[in-house]
């Protein structure tokens, strides 16, 4: 067992922050020997109970749950900052040509190492990630995550049409490969598999139907895709699947909406789409830096809250512009202020933080497992230094409340504030 004394942030079951200005986090093995949170709370209340446990004194720092990135593309690490008129030219001109390189297992392994080093530097401890259409790209990422003891969900992109040689897969083989990969990786240590139709326009009807059959056969496997991101994309999807009542409905029609299905973007929705999200238990990955960079639009927080479907935050690197959860939370705040409805929501800092930790974990069906520091949660956390830069120090020492402290970090923080990232207690 090991304990850490610091400021401590957790969340209750309703998503409200629990904060101890002088807290104690106790980490140790559970009954199966896995490192978990054994106790968390005020030093005053817990200090004497764990008197025999070595305590690392981190007073002055904030310990918080490791961040959960609900949607990120590891093969797009080098695509960050590629300008284009919009999503479809960005895919054609930069993304597809680059992703073709991931047929090479050595190249994929090198990017996987760099990718996880970046997640470490930014305090992201759980990711739902796209790989490419190449089996080798999945094996590279899964293998590296396993070596690091990381929690990771990823999958091979399904894309059998409307994309170039080098990334396009074969319908039948893509489904065989997906099932092989599920058997090879899903549930191995902290790894999970996601059935990954890239987006409806890149998938034939038989490919989507096969993906839906696998989703039914393996109900605890995740599903990830993109939807309602860009107006040209939506027109294209609707023309390819005229029988479906909306872009989102295409996925439902092929059995791809259920719990553990995560749809990136979900911008251009109507209330029928929102009700479909809620009814099926699917969740949205909100990707504000990507949506601003590609000019896609604004996630409608007010609409999502009104109808009541689940969502969490995501970087969407490399449409997204940063690995940093601080950047993503700031962009989410700005998107909330703008809003499709022009209602101008003012998202509270603790709410933004929840969307990138416990809320994102709940969207994955991993509440109580990651994204929080309640007893029993896996021991993934970040040590944040609120004095990491002169401006941060100046601002955070003036903070009179948790909201002011978190907002200072969201607006001014970057990787320099992540003093340490702890994964599975290490």
Least CB distance to ligand GUN at residue 271 (A): 24
- Closer Cβ to ligand GUN, 182 or 228, answer by number: 228
Least CB distance to Fe ion at residue 202 (A): 12
Which residues 6+ apart lie within 8 Å of 81 measured at CB?
318, 321
Least CB distance to ligand GUN at residue 199 (A): 4
The residue written with tokens 């960050």 in the block is: 80
Q: Which of 186, 211, 231, 222 is nearest to 85 (CA)?
A: 231
Contact 313, 325 (CB under 8 A): yes
Distances (CA, A) of 59 to 4, 334, 383, 385: 9, 32, 10, 10
Rounded Cα–Cα distance for residues 380 and 67 (Å)? 9
- Closer Cβ to ligand GUN, 134 or 198, answer by number: 198
In the list Fe ion, ligand GUN, none, the entry touching 23 (Cβ below 5 to 8 angstroms by class) is none
- Closer Cβ to Fe ion, 28 or 319, answer by number: 319
Instruction: Name beta bridge partners: 195.
Output: 223
| Alpha helices for 100-170 (secondary structure H) | 105-122, 135-148
Rounded Cα–Cα distance for residues 97 and 94 (Å)? 6
Query: Pseudo-torsion of CA 154, 104, 161, 220, nearest 10°?
Result: -20
In the list Fe ion, ligand GUN, none, the entry touching 395 (Cβ below 5 to 8 angstroms by class) is none
- Closer Cβ to ligand GUN, 320 or 386, answer by number: 320
DSSP string, 173-226: HHHHHHHHHHHHHTTSTTEEEEEEE--GGGS-HHHHHHHHHHHHHSTTSEEEEE
Least CB distance to ligand GUN at residue 203 (A): 10
Rounded Cα–Cα distance for residues 44 and 1 (Å)? 19
Least CB distance to ligand GUN at residue 99 (A): 8
Q: Which of 329, 315, 260 is nearest to 129 (CA)?
A: 315
Least CB distance to Fe ion at residue 130 (A): 6
Rounded Cα–Cα distance for residues 378 and 22 (Å)? 22
Least CB distance to Fe ion at residue 223 (A): 14
- Closer Cβ to ligand GUN, 296 or 372, answer by number: 296
Least CB distance to ligand GUN at residue 261 (A): 16
DSSP string, 315-339: --BTTBS-S-HHHHHHHHHHHHHH-
Least CB distance to Fe ion at residue 152 (A): 16
The residue written with tokens 């107006």 in the block is: 231
Q: Which of 105, 36, 37, 40 is nearest to 75 (CA)?
A: 105
In the list ligand GUN, Fe ion, none, the entry touching 177 (Cβ below 5 to 8 angstroms by class) is none
Rounded Cα–Cα distance for residues 364 and 128 (Å)? 9
Least CB distance to Fe ion at residue 70 (A): 10
- Closer Cβ to ligand GUN, 91 or 335, answer by number: 91
- Closer Cβ to ligand GUN, 314 or 417, answer by number: 314
In the list Fe ion, ligand GUN, none, the entry touching 198 (Cβ below 5 to 8 angstroms by class) is ligand GUN
Which residues make up the interface to ligand GUN (CB under 6 A)? 73, 87, 91, 95, 198-199, 226, 229, 290, 316, 319
Shortest-Cβ-distance residue relative to ligand GUN: 319
Which residues make up the interface to Fe ion (CB under 5 A)? 264, 316
- Closer Cβ to Fe ion, 120 or 316, answer by number: 316
In the list Fe ion, ligand GUN, none, the entry touching 199 (Cβ below 5 to 8 angstroms by class) is ligand GUN
- Closer Cβ to Fe ion, 139 or 316, answer by number: 316
- Closer Cβ to ligand GUN, 199 or 299, answer by number: 199
């Amino acid at each position: 067992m090991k304990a850490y004394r610091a400021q401590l942030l957790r969340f209750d079951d309703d998503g409200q922050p629990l904060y101890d200005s002088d807290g104690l986090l106790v980490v140790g093995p559970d009954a199966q020997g896995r490192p978990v949170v054994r106790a968390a709370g005020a030093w005053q209340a817990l200090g004497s109970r764990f008197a025999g446990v070595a305590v690392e004194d981190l007073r002055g720092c904030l310990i918080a749950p490791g961040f959960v990135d609900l949607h990120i593309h590891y093969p797009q690490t080098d695509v960050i900052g590629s300008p284009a008129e919009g999503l479809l030219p960005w895919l054609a001109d930069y993304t597809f040509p680059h992703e073709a390189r991931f047929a090479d297992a050595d190249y994929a392994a090198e990017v996987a190492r760099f990718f996880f080093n970046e997640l470490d530097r930014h305090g992201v401890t759980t990711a739902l990630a796209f790989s490419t259409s190449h089996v080798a790209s999945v094996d590279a990422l899964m293998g590296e995550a396993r070596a690091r003891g990381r929690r990771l969900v990823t999958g091979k992109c399904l894309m059998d049409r409307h994309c170039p040689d080098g990334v396009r897969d074969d319908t039948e083989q893509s489904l065989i490969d997906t099932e092989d990969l599920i058997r090879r990786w899903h549930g191995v240590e902290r790894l999970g598999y996601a059935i990954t139709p890239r987006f409806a326009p890149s998938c034939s009807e038989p490919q989507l139907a096969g993906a839906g059959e696998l989703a039914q056969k393996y109900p605890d496997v995740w599903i990830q895709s993109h939807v309602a991101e860009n107006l040209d994309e939506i027109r294209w999807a609707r023309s390819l699947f005229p029988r479906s009542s909306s872009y989102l409905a295409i996925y439902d029609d092929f059995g791809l909406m259920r719990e553990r299905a995560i749809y990136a973007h979900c911008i251009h929705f109507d209330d029928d789409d929102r009700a479909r999200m809620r009814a099926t238990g699917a969740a949205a990955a909100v990707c504000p830096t990507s949506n601003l960079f590609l000019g896609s639009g604004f996630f409608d927080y007010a609409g999502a809250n009104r109808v009541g479907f689940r969502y969490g935050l995501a970087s969407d690197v490399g449409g997204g512009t940063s690995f940093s959860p601080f950047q993503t939370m700031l962009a989410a705040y700005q998107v909330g202020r703008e809003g499709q409805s022009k209602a101008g929501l003012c998202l509270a800092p603790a709410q933004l933080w929840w969307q990138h930790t416990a809320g994102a974990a709940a969207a994955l069906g991993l509440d109580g497992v990651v994204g929080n520091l309640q007893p029993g949660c896996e021991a993934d956390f970040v040590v944040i230094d609120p004095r990491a830069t002169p401006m941060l120090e100046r601002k955070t020492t003036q903070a009179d409340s948790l909201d002011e402290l978190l907002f200072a970090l969201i607006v001014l923080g970057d990787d320099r504030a992540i003093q340490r990232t702890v994964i599975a207690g290490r």
